[in-house]
Structures are given as structure tokens and as C-alpha cells.
Amino acid sequence: MDSIRESWIMILKAKGHRVTKPLRIVVNILADSNFILNPTQVFQQAKEVYPQIGLVTVYRLMEKLEHAGLIERVHMPDGCQSFFQTREGHQHLLICQQCGKAEYFKGEDLNLFFQEIGRENGYLIQDHWLQLFGLCDLCIPSDL
């Protein structure tokens, strides 16, 4: 995980961002997480390590990470905005609605499907974004 953290820091430095203790803490939280996190959850975790951090600071730092392409916005069915690490290549998210665990799956072969939908409806599809919601293996009830 340290290599991910350090590569994020290098990217942020290259984009002209000053690397502060709060930034490093937020980077550590998001780079290490296998769960989607909203700013309040990141704030609560950051506060455990650095009690002086403010919620506004966390929002601002997460915005920097998003603009740097290191995290991406996840639109939840309840309307809440959460974030997850960005991965290289075109991938889609599987998200557990109970615990928030998230992981990417490859979806390159879906491009043809989406292009066909576009043609059928008179659109030229230029991009797509797919998030699947369900229960992870740990949250599926044993009686199912």
C-alpha cells in the first residue's frame, strides 16, 4: 500500500499541491480503503489520527484528489456522494449496499453493447459509467 500512497503524493506534488500532514492522512485513508467512503467517514477516520483536522479541510482535500484523478465520485442510490480509488483502464464498480465494500470489474466487452443501444436510439455513445449494487459475499444472508 505504501507504493500507492507515495505515487499519489508524487502526482499531487507534480500538480503543484503542497503536501501537508492532513493531506497525507486523507491520502492514507483513501488509498488503503477497499470501501467507498463519503467525506464524513473520511473525516471521522482522519480525526482519530489527527484531532485538529476539520471537515472543510477533508472536503477540500478530497476535491484535490478527485481533480488529480486519484479518486472518483460514486453515486449511491440514496443520493449520497461517496468516493473510491480510481483504477487504470475502463472498469466498472461492484458496490455492497450493506457494508460499502467496493471493487472494480473489467467491462471492455460492454462497449459494443452500449454502442448498439446508442445506434438503436439515435445516439453516438461517447462514454459510459456502470455501477452495480448488491451484497458482497460477507453480507449475503446465509439462508439465501
Q: Which grid cell sits at 10?
A: 508524487
Give the rounded percent of residues in the chain with a pLDDT score beyond 70.
96
Task: Print the domain residue range for 109.
Answer: 91-134
pTM, entire model = 0.82
Determine the distance from the C-alpha atom of residue 128 to the mean position of all C-alpha atoms in its chain, rounded to a whole number.
16
Backbone angles phi, psi at 33, to 5 degrees: -85, 135
pLDDT tens digit sequence for 66-120: 999 999 998 887 777 899 998 776 678 899 999 999 998 876 678 888 899 999 9
CB atoms within 10 A of CB 46: 23
Same domain, yes or no: 60 and 10 = yes
Please check whether residue 140 lies inside any domain of the structure: no
Together in a domain, 10 and 43 = yes
Same-domain pairing of 121 and 81: no
Same domain, 25 and 65: yes
d(CA 144, CA 136): 13
- Do 48 and 116 lie in one domain? The reply is no
Q: Are residues 79 and 17 in the same domain?
A: yes
